[in-house]
Amino acid sequence: MAIRKFSTSTIKSGSKSSKFWDQTTTLFPSTYDVLVVAGGGGSAHGGGGAGGLLAHTSQTLTVGTTYSVTIGGGGNYGGYNTSTGWYDGSNGSNSQFASLTASVGGGRGRRQDNVYNGGDGGSGGGGAYGGTGGTAQSGQGNAGGGSTQSGQRGCGGGGGAGAAGTSGDSSTGGAGGNGSSAYSSWGSATSAGENIGGTYWFAGGGGGGSFGTGTGAGVVGAGGNGGGGDAFISASQDGNGEAGTINTGGGGGGGKSDGSVPTHNGGLGGSGIAIMRLAGSVTAASTTGSPTRYTDASYTYYKFTGDGSITF
């Protein structure tokens, strides 16, 4: 039940006046919690790193203040262009809620100009062809996996919010790092995140691309949000990496790493998300960007999958 703020009105009776309370105005909670996930990195052959994940609790809520929201997009995939040659996937974009809550986009999976290290980001991208994994932003994610052998071999998985990506070997791409299920109740209440076995996950790393007909393609992190790496070993695998899941910050999966031209492409990174949580049943005074409002027994949630704002 919503908590009410009592306002006064005056009734005059002769020379005297009296006041009564009118239960019309919602008294908002004094604090809020917020989960913010940036866009995941796109992949070339190394898996894309997940977007950075941050959660802030007990933030002061100021009635009348407008809180602006920016949701980062996922990075583009990498591959081969007949005019310009090989190119990387790109980093994901930052997400932000108000001025104090920002998360960093995921690192790209590499394959360009003989520089094969994964890109740095919220979580690091996977390395390719003997390169190292990218580094992670402190407190927002984990490093990407490397590639243990130079040349056209298995590539590293991108890092996730819950774990680092693993390294590729002579034939098999590394797994993407697990996402985080620490905010599963937020996902369940708001239908956000990817439901894996009844649990909602955010910010999983993309799997690294495999080489040739390796025994297994790079696999998605257990977080379920990063795209799977690929190798052309069955009709169901076309050699292109899978995209990270939208609105989870998942990294893109790596494409087949056989060096062929035209190349097999990596996967797109998944876009980010922001979820605001307030105690009780409350309704914002105004919003932009059409956030989705949900409630459960204890909280009200506002989910942003695109840019906007909210005022109480």
**Overall size of the chain counted in residues:** 312
Highest mean pLDDT among 128-132, 135-139, 264-268: 135-139
Q: 199 falls in which pLDDT band (50, 70, 90)?
A: confident
pLDDT given at position 262: 60
Indicate the DSSP class of residue 190.
H
This model's pTM is above 0.85: yes
Q: Is the pLDDT of residue 144 over 90?
A: yes
Tens digit of each residue's pLDDT (9 = 90 or more) over 149-172: 776 678 899 999 999 999 988 888
Tens of pLDDT, residues 291-301? 999 998 899 99
pLDDT for 25? 56
- Asked if residue 269 has pLDDT above 80, the reply is yes
- For the cut 60, the answer to whether the pLDDT of residue 272 exceeds it is yes
Nearest residue to 37 via CA among 85, 89, 106, 108: 106
Place of tokens 């809020």: 32
| pLDDT score at 138 | 95
Is the backbone of residue 98 left (phi > 0), alpha (psi -120 to 50) or beta? left
| pLDDT higher than threshold 50 for residue 17 | no
Q: How far from 125 is each of 108, 118, 140, 173, 290, CA to CA, in Å? A: 5, 4, 14, 13, 32
Q: Would the pLDDT of 70 be above 90?
A: yes
Strand order in the sheet with 53-60: 53-60, 31-37, 273-279, 299-304, 292-295
Give yes or no for a contact between 287 and 309, defined as CB atoms under 8 angstroms apart.
yes
Give the model confidence (pLDDT) of 218-233 as tens digits.
555 555 567 777 655 4
Burial of 253 (0-12, 13-18, 19+ CB in 10 A): buried
Query: How far is 71 from 280, CA to CA, in rounded Å?
Result: 26
Please report which helix (H) or strand (E) contains residue 189, including its range.
helix 184-190
8 A C-beta contact, residue 208 and residue 109: yes
The pLDDT score that the predictor gives to residue 189 is 73
Mean pLDDT value across residues 57-73: 96
Please compute the mean of the pLDDT values over residues 266-290 and round it to a whole number: 95
Residue 9 has pLDDT above 50, yes or no: no
